[in-house]
Amino acid sequence: MSDLVLWGAGGHGKVVLDVARALGGFGAVSFIDDAEEVSGREFCGCQVCGASRYLQSLKGQGCSQYLVAIGKNELRAACFQRALDRGLLPATLVHPSAVISESARLEEGTVVMANVAINAGARIGKNCIVNTAAVVEHDCRVGDHVHLSPGVLLGGGVTVHSFAHVGIGAIALPGAEIGEGATVGAGAVVLDSVPARTSVVGIPARVIARASR
């Protein structure tokens, strides 16, 4: 029975821990975190083993699976790669209440929260967060390091490119496309496309900001 280490002892980490506990099948579950105020202490009944430098010793102790429990996409991606480079194996966690089609595919390092539906032919990339009660309809394509927030609804055939963040309760109509690194505000409705590295809000979604790079 493999142990599991969660990187990030914060609010998101609590929810990921609940998924791991609901699944069972792990030995010890522990955390790592660079914040001095939590390092070496207990968090939600689990030991915070130390800062990220502790990664080097995890594999030797038999703790070979990890999941990065950090909400910010860019930081989560960097941590995901650091742990992978040190020989740890990414876990993929799916809450027992989630409904996942047999023809859907989830890549490594992704966490799927309670009451999610991922339907036929959908593809979810590496190191993604599919948060509570999100719906990913048939034939959607979700890239790596994406965060689909609670209550997000993606219609059939939607494409969400890597590093995008879709806010709470946002909707993307069938066939819509959300560009790389884009942010869709809470409750927004995407009718067709969102350019890469922009922020959109409203109904219908409109651009309010563009990244400088």
> Is 138 designated active site?
yes
Which residue from 23, 22, 13, 105 is spatially nearest to 68, judged by alpha carbons?
A: 13
Residue 69 vs residues 81, 148, 173: alpha-carbon distances, Å: 13, 14, 29
Cis peptide before 204 (omega within 30 of 0): yes
Q: Which residues contact 166 (CB under 8 A, 6 or more apart)?
A: 146, 147, 148, 149, 152, 154, 160, 172, 178, 184
Annotated catalytic residue: which of 12, 95, 138, 147?
138
* Run of H or E including 36: none
Residues taking part in catalysis:
138
